[in-house]
């Protein structure tokens, strides 16, 4: 089992310092401003909590998100939702059987890996977009690489629809987090 707690807490810790004036700023995610990315994080926190609990009232749908639907209380609401996600993934049965997130059925252990990858990569996205430092634990990054690397190899580096864009080349001796970012379609040296 992966502990989502550190990644969720790091992401949540970024939120209080994001000024409203930054919400329209660019992010490393093509075509997403900060507000839209925050709304995506809001939605994924709900979706992956439900996936862990297998609490699905019918099929889930791919998320629709945008700056205009960002919860006005996002600075407090998103951390609460991230805490719920972490708690849900602490249950051993979250990692077994099949579940669903974003309209995709997948094994529980894969959903847990996707959730961690989303927390790490979007934590970096938000930190980079708002000029904040970001680090991730080696074990977390390695768990993400174990999930991402085969998916990228399977597509020949073209990306995985709905998860991440085409791979960006990084030096062979790049830090593990930079390798993860490159595999998920991000330039580790991106700046706003």
Q: What is the pLDDT of residues 100-137, one digit of tens each?
A: 988 889 999 999 999 999 999 999 999 999 999 999 99
The predicted pLDDT at position 59 comes to 47
Residue 8, pLDDT > 60, answer: yes
Q: How far apart are CA 73 and CA 90, in angstroms?
A: 26
CB neighbourhood size of 175 (10 A): 14
Residue 152, pLDDT > 90, answer: no
- Tell me the CA end-to-end span of the chain in Å, nearest whole number: 35
Q: Domain residue spans in the chain?
A: 5-183
Among residues of the chain, what percentage have pLDDT more than 70? 92
The CA-atom distances, in angstroms, between 39 and each of 77, 130, 138 are: 11, 16, 27
Q: How far apart are CA 27 and CA 7, in angstroms?
A: 19
Structure tokens at 4: 């989502």
The predicted pLDDT at position 47 comes to 93
Whole-model pTM? 0.92
Residue 58, pLDDT > 80, answer: no
pLDDT per residue as tens digits for the range 25-44: 999 988 899 999 999 999 99
Structure tokens at 138: 């080696």
Place of tokens 């390798």: 179
Give the confidence band of 24 by pLDDT, cuts at 50, 70, 90: very high
The predicted pLDDT at position 64 comes to 60
Domain 5-183 has CATH 1.10.390.10: no
The predicted pLDDT at position 102 comes to 81
Q: Is 101 left (phi over 0), alpha (psi -120 to 50) or beta?
A: beta
Residue 92, pLDDT > 90, answer: yes
Average pLDDT over every residue of 151-180: 84
The predicted pLDDT at position 11 comes to 98
Among the listed residues 15, 50, 51, 33, the one whose alpha carbon sits nearest the alpha carbon of residue 129: 33
CB neighbourhood size of 19 (10 A): 9
Among the listed residues 97, 136, 96, 91, the one whose alpha carbon sits nearest the alpha carbon of residue 117: 136
The residues pairing with 106 across neighbouring beta strands, listed in sequence order, are 99
């Amino acid at each position: 089992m992966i502990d989502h707690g550190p990644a969720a807490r790091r992401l949540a810790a970024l939120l209080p310092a994001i000024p409203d004036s930054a919400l329209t700023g660019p992010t490393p995610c093509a075509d997403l401003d900060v507000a839209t990315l925050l709304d995506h994080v809001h939605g994924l926190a709900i979706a992956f909590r439900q996936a862990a609990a297998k609490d699905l009232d019918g099929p889930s749908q791919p998320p629709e998100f945008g700056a205009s639907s960002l919860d006005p209380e996002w600075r407090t609401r998103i951390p609460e939702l991230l805490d719920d996600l972490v708690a849900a993934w602490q249950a051993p049965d979250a990692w077994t059987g099949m579940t669903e997130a974003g309209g995709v059925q997948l094994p529980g252990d894969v959903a847990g890996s996707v959730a961690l990858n989303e927390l790490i990569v979007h934590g970096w996205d938000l930190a980079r977009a708002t000029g904040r430092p970001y680090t991730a634990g080696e074990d977390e990054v390695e768990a993400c690489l174990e999930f991402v690397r085969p998916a990228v190899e399977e597509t020949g580096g073209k990306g995985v629809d709905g998860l991440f864009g085409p791979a960006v080349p990084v030096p062979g001796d790049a830090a593990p987090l930079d390798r993860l970012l490159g595999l998920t379609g991000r330039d580790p040296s991106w700046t706003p």
